[in-house]
Amino acid sequence: MAKIVPSPSGEFVSIALVRHFLDLTARQGQSTAPVLAAAGLEAEQLSDDDGWLPVAKGAEMMHAVLRLSGDPRFYLRMSQLSFFSGFGIVGYLLESSPTLKDAILSLMRYERLLSTVAFSRLEHQPGQVQWSVECCTGDAVVVEQMEEFHIGARYLFMRMVKERRANIVSAVHFRHAAPPDAGQLEAYHTIFNCPVLFGQPATALILKPPALAFPLHQMAPGLKETLEAHADKKLVEMMAAASGSLLTQARAQLRILLQNGQASRERLAECLGVSGRHLSRRLQAEGTGYSALLDGLRLESARKQLQESTRTIDEIGRMLCFSDGQTFCRWFRQMTGQAPSDFRQAHSNDSGNPASH
């Protein structure tokens, strides 16, 4: 299979990650040959670690695994067999991180090297920290299975922390409903030694606030800067392959930084491998600037969240890196002529969405 290069808006998963999943599938005693066949693939087509596979193909394999295994919680159980090298450079970055917070931020910064459909967020809430993951694709089965795998793998990662997991994770939340079968529920209790709640606003590990500063058992100390430089280069190459336009690359990279709460002119220039001055000149030549680019992406995300999510106005404001809900409301009114609550009421398909702070 020819190497597939994703566009910034496409749904792709890295072939390296697909191979990791297939390896874990085999470790659970499931033959991978019929799984590949279900997606019309052969093992030789997955030989390029730098290649990409459409998420639709990955979904076909996932459905085949669930059908052949007869285990609706296959990917949750599989998460406990995962290992760092299966995630490539992203896994090595986690191994080299000095603290839990450093590891989480590294994952958020570089997870696009693994797929273009799974995004993490770290949110500070009263008395707790929420480390969430959201799989953004149209297949509900894929969303549920992938979010369970991600949460299970992150819980497993907590073994790297130099602290008992009981002092790190206070609860596990899932967006989907609880399975009706008691046997399936037992899988969650076996893996997670803490309360597990379903039907929550986000799929997340709920961490105790001091946990972020806990040190890790570093397996590759001293390599983080070198690995980050290589990962940054791969991110830029991925975007450059999708489009030669710096504006397109800047927009795609800034969207990632905004999702991860790291948006700044300096960080954007660093990720694109150019100086801040060069970035400003190039954007100006293409008829825009950093502030206009950031406002455009914020507005795009704000409208989407107001129309489709149940997050409060304050939560959306914080998610878009505003200092508070009032600042977000003033900005949104300046951009659209409407208050966020009025926009939500006029455009939301879900009349039950919260429209107030």
Q: Could you give the domains of the chain?
A: 12-213 (3.90.1520.10), 243-345 (1.10.10.60)
Mean of the pLDDT values across residues 155-180? 95
Nearest to 195 by CA among 141, 155, 159: 155
Strand partners, 140: none
For residues 12 and 257, give the distance between their C-alpha atoms in angstroms, rounded to a whole number.
Answer: 19
And the tokens for 180?
A: 């009706």
Average pLDDT, the chain: 87
Amino acid found at 34: P
For residues 248 and 246, give the distance between their C-alpha atoms in angstroms, rounded to a whole number.
Answer: 5
Could you give the C-alpha distances from 202 to 179, 198, 211, 316, in angstroms and in order? 17, 9, 20, 14
- Tell me what pLDDT residue 252 has: 77
Contact by Cβ (8 Å): 319, 311: yes
pLDDT tens sequence across 169-223? 999 999 999 998 888 899 999 999 999 999 999 999 999 999 999 999 988 778 8
For residues 329 and 340, give the distance between their C-alpha atoms in angstroms, rounded to a whole number.
Answer: 6
Higher pLDDT, 263 or 259: 263
And the tokens for 57?
A: 């193909």
- Tell me what pLDDT residue 10 has: 61
**Angle 51-57-62 from CA coordinates, rounded to 5°:** 115
Residue 355's pLDDT band, with cuts at 50, 70 and 90, is very low
Strand partners, 133: 120, 203
And the tokens for 184?
A: 């399936």
Q: HSE of 307 in the Cβ direction (CA atoms, 13 Å)?
A: 8
Query: H helices of 28-162, where?
Result: 33-38, 55-69, 74-78, 88-95, 100-110, 140-157
Mean of the pLDDT values across residues 301-319? 87
**Angle 225-231-236 from CA coordinates, rounded to 5°:** 130
Could you give the C-alpha distances from 198 to 74, 119, 187, 193, 258, in angstroms and in order? 18, 20, 14, 16, 28
Pairing relation of β-strands 196-197 and 169-173?
parallel
**Angle 275-279-282 from CA coordinates, rounded to 5°:** 135
Residue 285's pLDDT band, with cuts at 50, 70 and 90, is confident
- Tell me what pLDDT residue 324 has: 87
108 Cβ contact list (under 8 Å, min separation 6): 120, 121, 122, 259, 260, 261, 262
Residue 241's pLDDT band, with cuts at 50, 70 and 90, is low
Continuous segment of H or E residues that includes residue 338: none
**How far is C-alpha 102 from the chain's CA centre?**
16
- Tell me what pLDDT residue 239 has: 63
Could you give the C-alpha distances from 67 to 71, 74, 189, 268, in angstroms and in order? 8, 10, 24, 43
Contact by Cβ (8 Å): 153, 78: no
For residues 297 and 301, give the distance between their C-alpha atoms in angstroms, rounded to a whole number.
Answer: 6
Number of residues that this document lists for the chain: 357
**Angle 248-121-143 from CA coordinates, rounded to 5°:** 85
Rounded to the nearest 5°, which phi and psi values hold at 131? Answer: -105, 100
Higher pLDDT, 106 or 349: 106
- Tell me what pLDDT residue 6 has: 41
Contact by Cβ (8 Å): 261, 321: yes
67 Cβ contact list (under 8 Å, min separation 6): none
Residue 117's pLDDT band, with cuts at 50, 70 and 90, is confident
**Helix or strand or coil: residue 134?**
strand
For residues 23 and 30, give the distance between their C-alpha atoms in angstroms, rounded to a whole number.
Answer: 10
